[in-house]
Chains A and B, each alone.
Chain A
Amino acid sequence: MSDFSSTARSLNNGVRRDPRNEWIARNRLHPLHDSVMSARQGEVRGPSGLLRKNPHIIGFIGPNGIKRIDRANLSSTELNSKKRTSEAQETLLPLHIVENPDGYIMVVADMVGGRLTRHDKDILGLAHQLATEKAAVAVVLVCFGENKETQFDLAGVDRLIHLAGQEFNGFAPEARLAALEQIETQFYPDYWLFPDSVNGGADLASRLAARLGERPATQAWQVNGTQTICRGASSSVDISRATPRILMLLEECADAIDRTRHQVLPLALDVNVNTKQRLFDQGQIAVDSNAVPLAEAEFILSAGNGIHNWDQFHAAAAALGATEGASRVAVDDGFMPRSRQVGASGTWVTARVYVAVGISGAIQHMQGIGQCDKVVAINTDAGCDMVKRADLAVIADSEEILAELTRLAQQHASLASLEEKSDAA
């Protein structure tokens, strides 16, 4: 009885099967197969009236005749260029707005090479953690000298004081201290945050603390509004203390800002630096670049399998004043000592500029140069990994490029010495 009633209901509901269409859909060789399948794309009801999904429609036939399902949406990202996607992400980030701030947190950045270092970004992140504990506090970045940074907004800078004058360039702690004192009197910030680094952050912070008569927290690594934990006694003890106004912070003291955009409004500062100068900067002096340890060298010229003229390579490194590095192949073949090897089994380098000559970029080598800022590749193979990683890639034979670079470097050096002579005269 029940069997009867259910069939009767299905008949009443009026879902009707088309046996011919079903037969065409099953037969892929039928001339009407495509049109029937595309007509079914929308909503397909099964014989009992249930909504049916056809799993065979998903995907496409790949070049080898194998069915592929594109779950990662790779084909659409390849169509758009990388720059466009990053722009889209930037516009997505919400803007953090501080209007009419009651207080300021000053972050004095190292800006090695004119850009924010990772250490600086961590400290900006910490500044925002401290800023959330009070209402309407703006994080102000104070930087000196040249500025090549383009992403202040993404690093968490609400306000910017950029002191670009000639007197702040190079080694100028007196002028910088005078400017910081000016900031202190004009804004009276809630906190002064400095990187505890050898790049000048610790030096400037100590000078300011001594001048203001405040006792700073040095090597601080855990900070909130009330308590600070610092390292002491050559990093063997932790000191918990009340948070002072001047803090020198270790690396990784907080996470960098990555979810918000910030305003980067310039703050006006009337600078008049008229200190009696007692330190006179004579400029950096040339050092033997190959005596610098590879791990901390600033500029590395690295050689790989693509080098055939080794005398020319050494001459080029000497002319440019670069520290020499090598890939594993060059070391295994005996052209360079093992201590010069860059990569996973050699040295992990931190150079600001890394020039890879004739290195195609094995993954072990790419790991070793992970921390380098600018990578330049000179290679004959345009498709190699090093060219993909590089900021500037030159597709050419290494020999003629190195010859030309050596000539340019010598020309530059002779010009500089001529200028010096004319200055002296």
Chain B
Amino acid sequence: MQPNVNVISLVSVGRHPQSGRARRAEQDGRAVELGLKLAGKNLTVVHAGNPQEPVLRQYAGMGLSSLTVLEQAQGCDALPALVSFLTENSVNIVLTGVRSENGESSGMLPYLLADQLNWPLVPRVADIVSVSAESAEVLLALPRGQRRSVIVTLPFIASVDNAAQEARQTAFGPGLRADFHVLAMDTVVDEAAHQWKITAAKPRPKRLKVVKAKTAADRMKAATAKPVGSGGKIMKNETPEEKAKAIFDLLLEEKVVR
């Protein structure tokens, strides 16, 4: 779109929700897809971690000629390495997923990057509509399928939502042939995370429906009665215009009609 805009997509190793095997992460794949749409061949894809990880070939198989890996051992903090990489290279747009599928998956990485670099951050992006020299128009994915248009100054960080364009299929052969630029970095071990106790997820207890009725008849009524609203307004003898106006006013008040 804009050849002079430098776009970086940050990728991580995902986790398949059923099998638990390593895979191309859902949102990171979308971040690469969005980056390819913006920058085409000039997209830089960066991973902080183990360069031998076979999943990285799945990202490379999306049509990338090369991939940059900031080499780190397991259990290290990716933030300092990424901050130093982003400050050394002139970058305009950084795309990440919202939450990683492995580890703490706090979703804090884009926020910490934005805070350390003092860049603006747009959360949960569905699409980047246009990019100019100073600013970009971004579509945010709101809950319930809604979209919000936001203009953000360059450079910025965007986390890519699941509502963005789905990642393209990966090709195995081109993925194997892609070059990996491995950069050695100063690593910082995440000390705080070593204090944590990590166990397999316990199923959360279902909330019990507690009926606070005093008598048996009240309990019976609570178990069997049809849901009844708390005494709504009933319009019977007004004209159709007044009735429709009342409904429309309610829709305006609830802001579902804009």
Contact = CB atoms under 8 A, between A and B. Distances in A.
Given A278-B152, A297-B144, A401 B240 contact: yes
A382 interface: yes
B123 A203 contact: yes
Interface in A383-398: 385, 387-396
Given A215-B192, A353-B254, A366-B227, A283 B247 contact: no
Contacts of B108: 206, 209-210, 215-216, 218
A174 B123 CA distance: 12
B257 A396 contact: no
A382 B232 contact: no
B211 interface: no
B241 interface: yes
B56 to A, nearest CB: 19
Interface residues of A, number: 90
Interface in B1-50: 15, 17, 20
Contact of A412 (B107, B112, B257): B257
Contacts of A387: 232, 234
Nearest to A229: B202
B168 interface: no
* Interface size classification for chain B: 35 or more
A31 B226 CA distance: 47
A234 B246 contact: no
A251 to B, nearest CB: 9
Contacts of A283: 148-149
B235 A71 contact: no
B107 A218 contact: yes
Interface residues of chain B: helix, strand, loop or mixed (majority): mixed
Nearest to A416: B258
A279 B150 contact: yes
A174 B106 CA distance: 21
A297 B143 CA distance: 9
Nearest to B217: A72
Contact of B235 (A170, A237, A374, A392): A392
Interface stretch (A96-104, A134-142, A286-294): A286-294
A375 B101 contact: no
Contacts of B228: 388-389
Given A206-B111, A385-B226, A392-B247, A285 B148 contact: yes
A166 interface: no
Contacts of B181: none
Interface of A: 71-72, 81-83, 86, 113, 170-171, 173-174, 198-199, 202-203, 206-207, 209-211, 215-216, 218-219, 221, 230-242, 252, 255, 278-287, 291-293, 296-299, 320-322, 352-353, 355, 363, 366, 370, 374-376, 378, 382, 385, 387-396, 400-401, 404-405, 408-409, 412, 416
The 5 closest A-B pairs by CB, nearest first: A404-B244, A292-B145, A72-B217, A299-B256, A282-B149
Interface of B: 15, 17, 20, 99, 101-108, 111-112, 114-115, 120-124, 137, 139-140, 142-153, 156, 192, 195-202, 204, 207, 215, 217-218, 221, 226-236, 240-241, 243-248, 250-252, 254-258
23 contacts: A71-B215, A82-B230, A113-B254, A206-B106, A210-B108, A215-B108, A221-B204, A231-B201, A236-B201, A238-B198, A240-B197, A278-B156, A279-B150, A280-B152, A284-B142, A284-B147, A285-B139, A287-B145, A287-B146, A321-B258, A390-B229, A392-B246, A401-B247
Given A210-B111, A233-B15, A234-B101, 14 more contacts: A81-B231, A206-B107, A215-B108, A216-B108, A232-B198, A235-B201, A240-B197, A285-B148, A321-B256, A374-B254, A376-B250, A378-B247, A389-B227, A401-B240
